[in-house]
Amino acid sequence: MMDRAERLYALLPAVYRIRDEEEGSPLRALLAVMEEEHLRIEGDIQALYDGWFVETAPEWVLPYIGDLVGNRLLAEVTHSRRTDVARTLGYRRRKGTLPMLEALARDVTGWGARAVAFMELLGWSQNLNHPRPLAPSIPVESVGTVHIRNRDLLDRLGGAWDGTAHTVDVRTAPGGAWRPGSRSLESRSRARPQEGWYGPRKVGFFLWRLGAFPLEAMPARRADPPNQHGWHFSPLGAPVPLFVRPRPDRDPTQRAEEIHLPAPIRPLAFHGDVEEHRARVLPLPPEERPLSSRWYGPGRSFQMRVDGVPVPPHRLLCKDLGGWARPPAGRIAVDVDRGRFTFAEGEEPEEVQVDFAYGFSAGMGGGPYDRRATLVPPGSTAWFQSVAKGSEVETLQQALEVWEERGRPHGLIQIDDSGIYGGNVEVDLPPGGSLVIQAAQGRMPSVRLVGDFRVAAPEAGARLVLNGLLVEGALSLGGNPTLELVHCTLVPGRMLTDDGAPWFVDRDSLVVPDEGDPTPQVTISSSIVGPIRLPATARELVIRDSIVQAFPVGGVPRPAIAATDAGDEPGPATILERSTILASVHVRELTLASQVIFTEPVVTERTQAGCVRFSYLPPGSRTPRRFHCQPDRALEGIGDPAEAERIRARLVPTFTSLRYSHPGYAQLRHDAALEIRTGGEDGAEMGAFRELMQPQREANLRTRLEEYLPFGLEAALIYVT
């Protein structure tokens, strides 16, 4: 077969090729040089052809293609520039329609979005001589006064699915208005009035910033006595609202419904779904009754299996379980707002497995989100052991015993399910050895410790990596190990009560026993942990993209990072990047603090070394040199003490919630100070969720709305979560 580089030579008649061979192939050498240039020209022509299409064009060509169709460049946050340019013509064909504006908001921000034309919700007085017919998209409740007997309509009042008539409001809609409600997740944040929503030129964009993270085959957790007839969906045994698992079957030409958005399941919507399903299926024979309703069942937002048997939706009862009330016989009461369910007297099962989705801002801590970039491939280590309930090795202790029997080689232990693991765990690392304990992709195993998770290493260089674990307890480091926590949760307070409060507010998550002269090194990334107690002799503490929280005891604050609970002795040299520290810090040296939110004062022993940049530092902090930090920068040139105090008070970071079990945990409120929300070095927010680049998402949406919103209309961005 002729080589591609000799295509020209192959075109010659055979007689000339034979003679060329006899002469030493000079013609072949000449044509080879010509063929090389021909291939370059051919490749350049092919590249020019590829550059005609947005799907194949090189990156440097995309701005030119975008300019041809009038596409304004956006910050690359949720999707690539190629995707944005490719969608331009599709947006233009449907320009100005509500489904298109809704899809635009969703694509540009990556958030759940629903567009509402507020002019359709304005009430009017009907003239009997000239009655105004209703459009199919306008519900009958939008004419006249409020239908107070319609509970579902009242529950939707003031939200994205409002169907009630409103009077005209000519005020300008403020950015980030919140829905006032009863017990829904939205109302747990400080509500803002619905200023300027309802007007003839107003279009509202309801935005859900939280994501829904689905969990499958999770063991439900039984409630504490005396409520053991009740269970929690959350493996932590805390009240967690069930989130909608967005359905993939949405028609892109239609507006989103409740089942398509990553929002908390509305209790009244679930109640109506269950009762409607019961009325429809109870007359049918048992074998013909479907196992799915609108919200519940396989492939829906949540599902339950009692002692291995799927629960049909007609057995469910939507109920407020704040007091753990029992349902009638044969029914299972479910509180989607608290993530609880209870059984009737005498019907308590031995085991319950659940599928559900929880809400959170980002993929941080133990969770089912994509961690493939951080996982160790099973075939890349000298020794590998999988662990799963019902398999040959079904506990961490058994896997560690096998590891020790094999001589403690460089190894990997992978947990392949989302089961419950516990007991006492001890890892003795050999000199220069390494061990990785990780959860498989999409799994979230829980490790419930009886004592501490003890890690010991006699010499420096031994390394332990934990990835994707949800740990109820503490890690104890002895000797000189190197510990890496990646996408892990060390539950602040070690455990949570039935109400979601920390159980042991006086306990730490990472400790070093008072034995010998330990010099551990700790790296924490994309994790959530409680207080860290490391001595100043530790080699280094590095925290990136994480949250560290400590709780006061009896009104006395406790530090998040220090050597002792009292905070009188400093911790080691520390590097903090893109993190939120929810308590005070006392360290020997702050080598670097970049884009960090400190809620309490920071004290550094050595102020001549290190740097703090693009961070918030409370008054009373003693740190090395600062660069673009708040409130220092906002106070530049302010001489009036009263004005300076007002600025300090305004710049204090505010959060949706500081309770770990809350979906909005450590999330900056949208009405937090602009200097904090855009204070990162790239214009993103400070703190642990900087990677979300939420200011850039909002700016991208406003840029696109200037182009696609019909002339004369005013957009209101309404943040629901």
For residue 312, cis peptide bond before it (omega within 30 degrees of 0):
no
Strand partners, 497: none
Q: How far apart are CA 208 and CA 261, in angstroms?
A: 8
- The number of beta carbons lying within 10 Å of the beta carbon of residue 347 is 15
pLDDT of amino acid 183? 39
CB 470, CB 500: distance < 8 Å: no
Q: What does the buried/exposed string (b/e) look like for 606-642 if buried means 16 or more CB atoms within 10 Å of the residue's CB?
A: eeeebebbbbbbbeebebbebeebbbeebeeeeeeee
pLDDT of amino acid 712? 82
Compute the average pLDDT of residues 181-208.
Answer: 63
Question: Cβ-count burial of 3 within 10 angstroms (0-12 exposed, 13-18 middle, 19+ buried)?
Answer: exposed
Length of the chain equals 721
Q: Which of 371, 357, 142 is nearest to 261 (CA)?
A: 357
CB 180, CB 162: distance < 8 Å: no
DSSP state of 260: G
The band of 133, judged by pLDDT with boundaries at 50, 70 and 90, is: low
Among 166-180, 208-222, 422-436, 528-542, the least confident range: 166-180
CB 429, CB 462: distance < 8 Å: yes
The band of 134, judged by pLDDT with boundaries at 50, 70 and 90, is: low
Q: Which two tokens stand for residue 683?
A: 């214009």
CB 323, CB 204: distance < 8 Å: no
The band of 9, judged by pLDDT with boundaries at 50, 70 and 90, is: confident
pLDDT of 364 > 70? The answer is yes
Average pLDDT, the chain: 86
Tens digit of each residue's pLDDT (9 = 90 or more) over 390-408: 889 888 999 999 999 998 9
Side chain identity at residue 79, one-letter code? H
Residue holding tokens 């003031």?
158
Side chain identity at residue 473, one-letter code? G
pLDDT of amino acid 529? 94
pLDDT of amino acid 185? 40
Please give the full DSSP string across 576-602, using - where no structure is assigned. Answer: EES-EEES-EEEEEEEEEES-EESS-E
Strand partners, 477: 455
pLDDT of amino acid 65? 80
CB 148, CB 246: distance < 8 Å: no
List the strands of the sheet with 112-117, edge to edge.
112-117, 202-208, 714-719
CB 611, CB 624: distance < 8 Å: yes
Predicted TM-score (pTM) of the model is: 0.88
pLDDT of 655 > 50? The answer is yes
Compute the average pLDDT of residues 347-359.
Answer: 92
pLDDT of amino acid 181? 38
pLDDT of amino acid 606? 93
pLDDT of 1 > 80? The answer is no
pLDDT of amino acid 4? 58
CB 317, CB 371: distance < 8 Å: no
Tens digit of each residue's pLDDT (9 = 90 or more) over 142-194: 566 777 777 888 888 888 888 888 888 777 766 554 433 333 443 433 334 56
pLDDT of 251 > 80? The answer is no
Please give the full DSSP string across 33-93, using - where no structure is assigned. Answer: HHHHHHHHHHHHHHHHHHTTSTTT--GGGHHHHHHHTTPPP---SSS-HHHHHHTHHHHHH
For residue 226, cis peptide bond before it (omega within 30 degrees of 0):
yes
Tens digit of each residue's pLDDT (9 = 90 or more) over 301-314: 999 999 989 999 99
Percent of the chain with pLDDT over 70: 93
Q: How far apart are CA 97 and CA 709, in angstroms?
A: 9
pLDDT of amino acid 186? 39
- Pairing assessment for the beta strands 420-428 and 303-306 based on DSSP bridges: unpaired
Question: To 5 degrees, how large is the angle CA 58–CA 71–CA 46?
Answer: 25
Q: How far apart are CA 599 and CA 546, in angstroms?
A: 14
Q: Which residue has the higher pLDDT, 95 or 651?
A: 651
Compute the average pLDDT of residues 434-457.
Answer: 89
CB 301, CB 244: distance < 8 Å: yes
Compute the average pLDDT of residues 263-283.
Answer: 91
pLDDT of amino acid 142? 57
- Report which listed range, 120-134, 240-254, 337-351, is most confident: 337-351
pLDDT of 18 > 70? The answer is yes
Kind and range of the H or E element at 391? none
The band of 51, judged by pLDDT with boundaries at 50, 70 and 90, is: confident
pLDDT of amino acid 3? 59
Q: What is the CB-side half-sphere exposure of residue 7 using CA atoms within 13 A?
A: 9
Among 195-204, 490-499, 571-580, 592-601, the least confident range: 195-204
pLDDT of 17 > 90? The answer is no
Compute the average pLDDT of residues 398-425.
Answer: 90
First to last CA, the chain: 64
To the nearest 10 degrees (0 to 180), the angle between helices 694-708 and 98-109 is: 150
Q: How far apart are CA 656 and CA 134, in angstroms?
A: 40
pLDDT of amino acid 194? 61
Q: What is the CA radius of gyration of the chain?
A: 30
Distances (CA, A) of 214 to 323, 357, 364, 374: 27, 4, 14, 20
Q: How far apart are CA 630 and CA 44, in angstroms?
A: 52
Tens digit of each residue's pLDDT (9 = 90 or more) over 569-590: 999 999 999 999 999 999 999 9
Say whether 336 sits in a helix, a strand or coil.
Answer: coil
pLDDT of amino acid 61? 82
Compute the average pLDDT of residues 92-115.
Answer: 87
Q: Which residue has the higher pLDDT, 175 or 202?
A: 202
